[in-house]
A and B are shown apart, each in its own frame.
Chain A
Amino acid sequence: MSHAIDIDLHREGPGGLETEEMTLNMGPQHPSTHGVLRFVVKADGEVMRRAIPDIGYLHRSIEKIAEKVGYHGFMPYTDRVDYVSAMQCNQGWAMACEKLAGIEVPRRGEYCRVIASEFGRIASHLISVGATGMDMGAITPFTHAIREREYINDILEELCGARLTFNYMRIGGCAWDLPPGFAKRAIAYLDRFEPLIDEYDELISFNKIYVERLANVAPITPERAISWNLVGPNLRGSGVRYDVRRDVPYSAYPEFEFDVPVGTGERGTLGDCYDRYMVRMREIRQSCRILRQALEGIPAGPVVAKVPRTFKPAPGAVHVRVEASRGDMGWFAVSDGTAFPVRVHIRTGSYAAMAAIEELSKGLMIADLVAVIASLDIVAPEVDR
């Protein structure tokens, strides 16, 4: 592990005073809600020179476990890859297996998947914006966001029986069909939820102090965002209109009408923390739009295709992309014809974002580091898997 921690001792400061760089440790246990992350911060007083991320505290060998449990058994483990938005991870693995074996998912199954994924996206973005608010010091938006997420958890509990690790999708479709009355309840929830987003916006998004904390902090130009492999709202916040649901369409998304919000530098520079935050707020509204279309237009039919109990796909390698809440999640699976995959690799958006932090943190203040981590929406389970 070679973190080149070069301490700049006895640097000549302004006025001829000798100054020394401080090395601080923003340790794995930290009262910030992003999980176990560690940063070694080299700071000159309040201003940082570098913030070196240290990862691996939440590594659970999920990719290796896939080689032991087989294709069907890996589905609950995919929930834990990003437990904040577990539905999309389920979908990614299911799509990878279906592509390996050439299985087609029935249309109703695709609609159920979209409904579940979009609810998961709203839930994940709620946590993200809430945690950003809390890191900035505003404690109430977080609790309001969690309150709304609890309602979504109730809806998804009705759908699949669990509130966090859903294990809803199977290879070939979904495990459970929509229960009776689900569409009515979900639409009633959406009717209740959309005015509350406006209220949330007015409480925090347009608050002058909040804007001042986030605007002009760590702007990422579109070229840098692409070269650093950022995806999802991080990329769209810099103005690059790339969304896997639109550009590499999968599942039932081509049938829905929705916008892809991008950052425009409305309150500061293009691609700053505020842009990324606003992209997430707008994506919540777009998800509500997709949900309404899906719930009203869902076709009849089966939700799952026939898949053998021992799943032995043809040998080959496949890579699929899913638009998870944190961006373009890549699922790579290699099969050799047996019931166990040879290799599974998950490419997550937070991993690249962690690497970007070291570059971004030069010249920022320590208080801004928290803003940057929050706005890049880094969750530790995704980084370490």
Chain B
Amino acid sequence: MGYFENIRESVRTIFEGMAITASHMVRKPYTVQYPDRIDVRVQDTLPFRYRGLLDVDLEICTGCLACERACPIDCIVIDAEKDKETREMVLKRFDIDLAKCMFCGLCSEPCPTGSIHHTPEFEGADYSLESMIRRFVKAPVVAYKPSKGPETNPEIAPILKRGLRYLDEFASPGGAS
């Protein structure tokens, strides 16, 4: 390009660029001033599928250990054994190490009741590594046995409903859309 074309091109493109940035100066900024200057909690605006921190509804856990097998990073440790007298599964330990968890969702997919699921919570920062291990079993509990028809226990029914709703989000083979 010739000498004067260079000058003209520079002036023109710089002029244009300055006009664009000037137009940006009067636009609404995009920033969300988390956490204190916003109207709603961010957690409430997240979609239902959001893969935040893991939570286990022990009332509907069947002790099938599918999540422990599916986890690719071995962050779930479950101790479940069949009680010899009552022939029921007893859960002694259900630990999830959130420091290892990579929030992939592979554990919640095979769960038959939706007991282990991701929540929209994402604020898990803490000062100690110990607090990252979530121990969901305080005292040995009997695992849940899914009933043949709809669940009748009024305490467990809503939890199960939510769990199944979470599982419904996952696509299934042969499911129409």
A interface residue numbers (CB < 8 A to B): 69-70, 72-77, 108, 140, 147, 150, 157-162, 165, 167, 172-179, 199, 202-204, 206-209, 300-307, 309
Question: Which size class do B's interface residues fall under?
Answer: 35 or more
Residues of A within 8 A of B9 (CB): 208
Partner of A160, one of B49, B109, B175, B177: B49
In the complex the two chains form, what is the Cα distance from A301 to B172 in whole Å?
11
Question: B124 to chain A: closest CB distance in Å?
Answer: 15
The closest CB in chain B to the CB of A174 belongs to: B171
In the complex the two chains form, what is the Cα distance from A158 to B120 in whole Å?
12
Q: Are A175 and B171 in contact (CB under 8 A)?
A: yes
Residues of B within 8 A of A304 (CB): 171-173
- With A175-B109, A203-B21, A208-B14 in contact, is A75–B49 under 8 Å at CB? no
Q: Are A203 and B17 in contact (CB under 8 A)?
A: yes
Per DSSP, chain B at the interface is: loop
- With A75-B106, A176-B171, A303-B177 in contact, is A207–B17 under 8 Å at CB? yes
Question: B67 to chain A: closest CB distance in Å?
Answer: 12
Contact of B148 with A by CB under 8 A: no
Residues of B within 8 A of A159 (CB): 49
The closest CB in chain B to the CB of A148 belongs to: B30
Q: Are B30 and A140 in contact (CB under 8 A)?
A: no
Q: What are 10 residue pairs bridging A and B, where the CB atoms are less than 8 Å apart in the complex?
A: A73-B71, A74-B72, A75-B106, A76-B106, A108-B177, A147-B30, A176-B171, A202-B20, A206-B13, A303-B177
Residues of B within 8 A of A176 (CB): 49, 169-171
Question: B108 to chain A: closest CB distance in Å?
Answer: 10
Q: Mark B150-177, 1 if CB is under 8 A from A, else 0.
A: 0000000000000000000111111111
Q: Are B30 and A162 in contact (CB under 8 A)?
A: no
